Structure 1
Amino acid sequence: MLSTLATAAMATHVGPWAAGWGWAFFLIPVFWILVIGLVVFLVTRGRRRAWAEGAYGPPWARPASAESTLAERFAKGDIDETEYRARLEVLRANRPSA
């Protein structure tokens, strides 16, 4: 009697699997693959942008700015103070606006 009731309950059960929605089971892994792929894409994109701007990586791999190079030359004694100030003024006047 109990097995007959269980069989009848399963035969009349209308759920997502019985109604032809079995393919929806495959959407769950596809969704997570897309989410993980999006996260990886955004992280690598951010790193590439930061690397191009010189804000990522070790200090010796970052591009030196013109002002820091000029300051180093002044500190080494390659140029005197008047030449340093004149060149610094030219650099700051011709700086591209961000």
Structure 2
Amino acid sequence: MMGNGWGAGMGWMWVLWPLVIIATVAVVALLVRSGADRSRPPAPVDQPPAHEADEPTAAAGQPAARRILDERYARGEIDEEDYRARRRRLEEPDA
């Protein structure tokens, strides 16, 4: 008898246990990583970051509203007709 069957299966244990440990570490790392992403609130899509919203002009000298309008047009969120109408409205003097 060969040790009641223990000798044939021990070779696989040297392969199995490192795989179990690697898989456990990978799962823990993924859980920690996904938990860190959920702890931050999502940024609003249509609003600039808070530090830019407080400034009356953007870095290029354009009003913040005009810069946002230009970005939305560039991304294809609004068509040319809508862009031009909104741009005219922004350029009108306040009554």
Query: Shorter chain as normaliser: what TM range?
Result: 0.3 to 0.5
- Larger Rg: 1 or 2? 1
State TM-score, norm by structure 2. Answer: 0.37
